[in-house]
Structure 1
Amino acid sequence: MMIEKQRRRTIRCEEWEPIQVGVPGAPLSFAELGQIFKQWKARTGTDPASYFDLRGNSLVPKNWTGVAPGDDVQLEVAPIGSSSLDKPERIALDRNISLMLQASLTGGSMELAEGDVAQSGERMHVLLMAFCRLLAKARRRQIIRKYVPARMATRCTRGRTVFPAQVFESIRRPGYFISEWVALDEDTPENRYIKAVLARFRPRVSGSLRCKLDELLCEFDDVSLVSSPESEWRRIRFDRLPREYSVLLKLGKSLLDGETPGLFSGLANAATEIVFTARVYETFVASKIALIAEARGYRAERQPRGRYFGKWKDGTHIGRSAFELIPDMQLYRDGESPVSCVIDTKWKRLVPTSPQYGISLDDVYQVVTYAARFGHSHAILAYPWIGTGNPLGGTAHYISLPMASAAGKVQVTIIFVPMLEDRFASWQTRVGSLLDSFGSE
C-alpha cells in the first residue's frame, strides 16, 4: 500500500483554489480527473459534482479537505486560508477541525486533551480516542448486563436446588448439589458490538492507543467476539439504552462501516482521509450555539422542515409548495420580551481587506429571506476566520447590519468563528453576550 502511495503524483491546493485541467502544462489531465472522480464516488458514496466545480478547464475543490486518490495521481486539499499559516497555527487549525469532526460524530462537544492531534492530522487516531473515552465514560455510569439462568453442580447450595436432577447427582457424586440461580451476564449484543469495534481497529494502531484498546478489551473478556457485528447491531434496542451508549454505538458503527461523516479510508491509499469541512463546521457551530442559547433560556430548533417560500399559482404545479426553506437553526426565547433568531453557517473564506470582508450578498439575501418568512427580528451569519488577530481590527468581534424588509426590521449580525483559537473558549463567551443582548435593545 505504501509503495502505491509513493508512486502517485501529488497535486496540492486549498479549498476553493482553481486547478487547471486538460490544457498544455496543466497539472491534471481529464483522464486523471476521471480516475479521481471514480474513486471518490466509490469510497464516499457521494456525487463528485457536489464537491468539485468543473467549468471548462478549471477545477475547484469545495467543502472538503484531505487526500482524494486516483490511479496515478492524488489531489491533496488543505483548508481554506491554511497556506498562509505557520506550523503552530496549522497544528491549532488541525486540532480544532478534529474537535469539530469528533463533535459531529458523537452528537455533542468533547474536549481534546493536549497532544491528541498529531501534526500530520491523524484523524482516525482522534476518532478512536473519542470512542475509547465515550466507552470509559459509559461504563463508569452503567455496565450493560442481562439476567440469565445459571445451573451447575456445586459443593453447597446456591439459589435453588433442582429436582429431579439433584437426586441423580447425589447418587453419582454425594455431597454435590445441582443448583440454579439468576446471574448477570455481560454477553449482550451491545457489548459484543463494542468488542468487535475494539478488536477490528487494534491491529491498525500502535503505541498508547493500542495499549488503551488492549486495556478496554480486557474488560470484555467475558463477552463473545463475533465475526458478524452487523447481526448484533440488528439486535440492539436503542429505545432502552442510556444516551451515552447510543452515541458510543453509533460512532462504532460509523467506524466499522467506514461511513463517518467526513472520513473514509481505502486500500488504494493508506491513511486516505477526507473531511467534509462545510458539513462538520455546520454541525459543530450549530451544536455549540444551541448549548449556549439553551443555557440562556432559548429553545433551539435544528434545520426545521416543512416551510416553503410560497406556492405555484401558474403552470402544471398550481397549488404545490415551491422552494423549501431550511435554515441551520432557529432560536426562540419566551417571556415578557420574546426574542427569536435565525442562524445560518457559511464555510467560506473571509477577506478582511475587501470592502465587505468577502461576504457574499447572496448570503445576506438568504438569511434575510429566512427571517422574513419565519418572522424573526434577528438573523446571524456565522463565518470561519482562519487567521490570527481580529478580522475586524480593534476589539469588535461581530458586525451588525440593521435593515428593513417587507416584514419589518431585521437585525443581521455577522459573527466570526476563530478557527485558531484554543477550543473556541472566548468565542463561546462572545456568542453568549450577543444572545443576551437580544431583546434588550
Structure 2
Amino acid sequence: MLQTESQTIEVLPKIAGEDNQVRRNLVGMLNVALDLEIGEGEMARVRKQTQSLLEVLIRLYCDKLSEQLRRGLVRRYEAHEENLAFVRGRLSIADQTRRNAANPERLYCRFEEFREDNPLNIILKASLRMLLRHSRSSGNQRLLSELLLAFEGVSDCSIASLPWSRVRFDRLNERYQPVFRLARMFLHQTSPDVTAGNAHGFSLFFDMNVLFEQYIGRMSLPVLRKRGLRGRLQGPRKYVANDMAEAKPVFAMKPDLVATEGALAKLIVDTKWKRLSPEESKEGVAQADLYQMYAYAHCYGCTTMLLLYPHDVQLGNEPGVRRRFRLNSAARGTHAGEGAVLSIATIDLTDLRMVASQLNKLFDMPCSILLAPAP
C-alpha cells in the first residue's frame, strides 16, 4: 500500500478471491508469520471490515493495544541521572567533580525510577502518533486519539531515534509482544524517502516471497510433529563446497523447511511465490529452482523434495502435486529409481482454514511417490 495526501494505492497479492477476502487472508498470513496472536474474535472483526488494508491493520492494532492497556500500562525501573539539590540513589563522584566543581550545592546522582516512560511505551506512543497522521477512518482516528491519552506521561521520540535495542521482554511485559510486533511492522515500513517538502506519504509493503515462506513453514511444523518429524525453518545449515585454501565451508544453503527424523533429512520443502502456467514448458518451473533443489537433495542426502507454489485458478480447481521429477544421481553404480524425487505442487490460499489439511495431504504424497515406479 502506498499513500499520498490525496490517494491510496493498494497492490493486492495474487491470491484468488474478492478484494476483501484477499485482505483478510493477507492478515491471516501475517498473523501466523509474525506471531501476532490474533484470536478468533479479532479475526471475526477483521472479516467484517471493508476498508483498505491499512485501516484494517490499524483497527486490529487498536483493539489489541486496548486489550493490554486494560490490564495496565507497563511501568519499569529505569536508570536515570540528574543534578539535584539532595542525594537520591547514589552520588556519582566522577560526574560531580566534572560537572559541579563550581556549583557544590548541586549533587549529580544516579538512581532508578519506577516510571511509565520506558523504551517499550515510547515506541508504542510513536506508532500511535504516526498512524493518527495517516489514518483516514474517523473510527480509527478516534480510537488512536483515545489510546494516546494513556501515554500522556511518555516521552515523544522521532522515528529515527526510537530505542529499539533497549526494549526487553520478561514475564511482566511479555503480553505486549504481539502489539510490539505490529508497532514494529508499521514503524519499520515507514520510509523517509516517501516524505518530501510539506507532503507526507506512507508505504506498507510486504515481500510476498518471504511472507509465503514463513507462513507455510510455520503452518507445516505442527503437521510434521504429528508424524513424528521435527521441522526446522531455514536450517540445519549445510554448505555446497569447502574452500581448500582457507579450509572452511563456503556457499551456505538454507532450505525453507527441512523435516528430520533423528539425524536423517526425510523431506525438504522450498516455497516460491510465483504463478505457474499450464501453457509454459514444465509449467514455468525455473531451471534455477530445479538446480537449487538438486543441490539440497545431494548435500542433505534427502530423497523426498517438494517445491511449493500458490495455486491459481488457471491451473484448475484442485491444488496439489502437478509434476514429478526423478533427479539423476551423480554417484556411480546408482540404479534407476534410487535418485531423489522432486514434486512440484500448489497450495490453495483462498481459505486459510484448509491450509493445514492440504499440507497434511501433500506430506502423504512423497511416500506413495517413492513406492511408485519411475515415470
**TM-score w.r.t. length of structure 2:** 0.67
Alignment partners' CA distance in 1, 2:235 and 2:255:
7
Alignment partners' CA distance in 2, 1:130 and 1:362:
40
Q: How does 1:272-287 map to 2 (within 5 A)?
A: 272-287=203-218
Quote how far apart the aligned CAs of 1:400 are.
5.8
Summarize the Cα distance change of 1:350–1:256 in structure 2 as closer, same or farther, 3 Å threshold. same
Alignment partners' CA distance in 2, 1:294 and 1:340:
13
1:325 to 2:258 alignment: no
Question: What is the CA deviation profile of residues 264-321 of structure 1, one whole-angstrom value per residue up to 9, with x for unaligned ones?
Answer: 85456745554332222222222222343345443222212642111245xxx56453
Summarize the Cα distance change of 1:329–1:191 in structure 2 as closer, same or farther, 3 Å threshold. same
Q: How does 1:5-404 map to 2 (within 5 A)?
A: 79=13, 89-101=18-30, 103-106=32-35, 112=43, 113-116=46-49, 118=51, 122-136=52-66, 138=68, 144-146=74-76, 186=116, 188-205=118-135, 206-218=137-149, 220=150, 224-228=153-157, 230=161, 233-238=164-169, 243-258=174-189, 266-267=195-196, 270=201, 272-304=203-235, 306-312=237-243, 317=245, 319-334=247-262, 340-387=266-313, 391-392=315-316, 395=318, 397-399=320-322, 401=324, 403-404=326-327
Asked whether the equivalents of residues 258 and 265 of structure 2 are also in contact (C-alpha less than 8 Å), the reply is: no
Question: What is the CA deviation profile of residues 367-426 of structure 1, one whole-angstrom value per residue up to 9, with x for unaligned ones?
Answer: 1321221122321111122437xx255x5622362625347432322221324x13x222
- 1:42 aligned partner: none
Asked whether the equivalents of residues 103 and 110 of structure 1 are also in contact (C-alpha less than 8 Å), the reply is: no
Which amino acid is 2:320 matched to? H
- 2:107 aligned partner: none
Asked whether the equivalents of residues 62 and 144 of structure 2 are also in contact (C-alpha less than 8 Å), the reply is: yes
Asked whether the equivalents of residues 331 and 341 of structure 1 are also in contact (C-alpha less than 8 Å), the reply is: yes
- 1:414 aligned partner: 344
Structure 2 unaligned residues grouped into runs of 5+: 79-112, 332-337
Which amino acid is 1:410 matched to? A
Summarize the Cα distance change of 1:131–1:375 in structure 2 as closer, same or farther, 3 Å threshold. farther
Quote how far apart the aligned CAs of 1:102 are.
5.3
Quote how far apart the aligned CAs of 1:343 are.
1.2
SS of the equivalent of 2:339 reads strand
Question: What is the CA deviation profile of residues 59-82 of structure 1, one whole-angstrom value per residue up to 9, with x for unaligned ones?
Answer: xxxxxxx96xxxxxxxx97755x8
Summarize the Cα distance change of 1:126–1:282 in structure 2 as closer, same or farther, 3 Å threshold. farther
SS of the equivalent of 2:284 reads coil
Structure 1 unaligned residues grouped into runs of 5+: 7-65, 68-75, 149-182
SS of the equivalent of 1:351 reads coil
1:425 to 2:353 alignment: yes
Summarize the Cα distance change of 1:2–1:283 in structure 2 as closer, same or farther, 3 Å threshold. closer
Which amino acid is 1:346 matched to? K
Question: What is the CA deviation profile of residues 88-107 of structure 1, one whole-angstrom value per residue up to 9, with x for unaligned ones?
Answer: 63443344335434554446
Summarize the Cα distance change of 1:226–1:242 in structure 2 as closer, same or farther, 3 Å threshold. closer
Asked whether the equivalents of residues 134 and 244 of structure 1 are also in contact (C-alpha less than 8 Å), the reply is: no
Alignment partners' CA distance in 1, 2:303 and 2:277:
28
Asked whether the equivalents of residues 239 and 249 of structure 2 are also in contact (C-alpha less than 8 Å), the reply is: yes
RMSD: 4.2
State the identity as a percent. 25
Summarize the Cα distance change of 1:129–1:396 in structure 2 as closer, same or farther, 3 Å threshold. closer
Question: What is the CA deviation profile of residues 211-232 of structure 1, one whole-angstrom value per residue up to 9, with x for unaligned ones?
Answer: 33345445x26x5131226465
Which amino acid is 1:430 matched to? Q
Quote how far apart the aligned CAs of 1:252 are.
1.5
Which amino acid is 2:49 matched to? D
Alignment partners' CA distance in 2, 1:295 and 1:109:
24
**TM-score w.r.t. length of structure 1:** 0.58
SS of the equivalent of 2:121 reads helix
Alignment partners' CA distance in 1, 2:73 and 2:67:
10
How many equivalent pairs are there?
Answer: 318
Which amino acid is 2:304 matched to? H
Asked whether the equivalents of residues 322 and 346 of structure 2 are also in contact (C-alpha less than 8 Å), the reply is: no
Quote how far apart the aligned CAs of 1:140 are.
6.9
Alignment partners' CA distance in 2, 1:184 and 1:312:
54
Asked whether the equivalents of residues 192 and 224 of structure 1 are also in contact (C-alpha less than 8 Å), the reply is: no
